[in-house]
Structure 1
């Protein structure tokens, strides 16, 4: 199959950065393949494709307090809108906020790790516009934010 990405859990070129012209094949909560858009569309012609006018990259890891908002759900959603797919456990001391993060499948980490896309890894990714705005966020294979 003509796709890039290497063996499971090995990061792809870009090593945590943006991957212009690349795509990700997601199966459930995991990344099945990563490669240039043309290669993936040829290798998987029957798969439904979502396109955004930005650049693909891994979802971000938020290292800090959550933004203020009226409810725990809105606090988590504010991060999803910015392309975040993981939070540090140290900043989730409020049980209601932790529950809101869990309902959205946001990864909770004990320590910061560099964001990366990897074949066989969890499908946490985002699409960013040229000005840095997040256009779409996917967490554990599920679209949790898209800008209209």
Structure 2
């Protein structure tokens, strides 16, 4: 199972939490293995792949409205990734076939919004956001599914 260290300019443990500089997240498989100071994590995981991002790394967003319009369910899900969303609310699944695409993409389908944090043992759903709020990268269940060019 591959291990990746995701490091960004800043890290937020919670969507509205205070950002911290010099921190990173270690992902193994679909789980967060560790969160901590980048130098400590690089020492603890010497063979890990390291991805460095410009922006603020934090939990993936929960999309709490209708999914973005697009010609196909697959394109609607990709539009979510471009927003940094890694979870949706079940009440907004309005198109046949959409649930199957979400399942294949491993997007979390929630019955209600809840707290999202970066913590060891939690599912590796991450988003990196630029200063203007645009998504730089999205990781769903440990897989990089979107990266802005």
Measured after TM superposition, the shift of residue 52 of structure 1 is 1.2
1:135 Cα deviation after fit: 0.6
The alpha carbon displacement at 1:117 in A equals: 1.0
- For the aligned residues, what is the CA RMSD? 1.7
**Alpha carbons of structure 1 residues 113 and 132: separation in structure 2 relative to 1, 3 Å:** same
Higher alpha-carbon deviation: 134-143 or 43-52: 43-52
Does structure 1 conserve the Cα–Cα contact (< 8 Å) formed by 2:13 and 2:119?
no
How far apart, in 2, do the equivalents of 1:19 and 1:72 lie? 36
Give yes or no for the alignment of 1:71 onto 2:72.
yes
Distance change >3 Å, CA 29–CA 80, structure 1 → 2: same
Unaligned regions of 5+ residues in structure 1, if any? 1-11
Alignment: residue pair count: 137
TM-score normalized with structure 1 length: 0.86
* Alignment-derived partner of residue 15 in structure 1: 14
Greater CA drift, 76-85 or 41-50 = 41-50
- Aligned partner of 1:27 in structure 2 is 28
Normalising by structure 2, report the TM-score: 0.85
Separation in structure 1 between the aligned mates of residue 20 and residue 107 of structure 2, nearest angstrom? 22
Following superposition, the deviation at residue 14 of structure 1 comes to: 3.8
Deviations 1:9-29 (Å, cap 9, x if unpaired)? xxx974334554321111111
Q: 1:20 to 1:106 in 2, by over 3 A?
A: farther
Between structures 1 and 2, the one with greater strand share: 2
- Greater length-normalized contact order (CA 8 Å, ≥ 6 residues apart): 1
| Cα pair 1:126 1:135 within 8 Å, conserved | yes
Residues 142 and 98 of structure 1: is their aligned pair in 2 closer, same or farther, counting only changes over 3 Å? same
> Does the 8 Å CA contact 1:20/1:55 hold for their aligned counterparts?
no
Deviations 1:72-121 (A, max 9, x none): 11111111111000000111132311111111100000000122111101
* Residues 12 and 56, structure 2, Cα contact 8 Å, conserved in 1: no
- Residue in 2 aligned with 1:87? 88
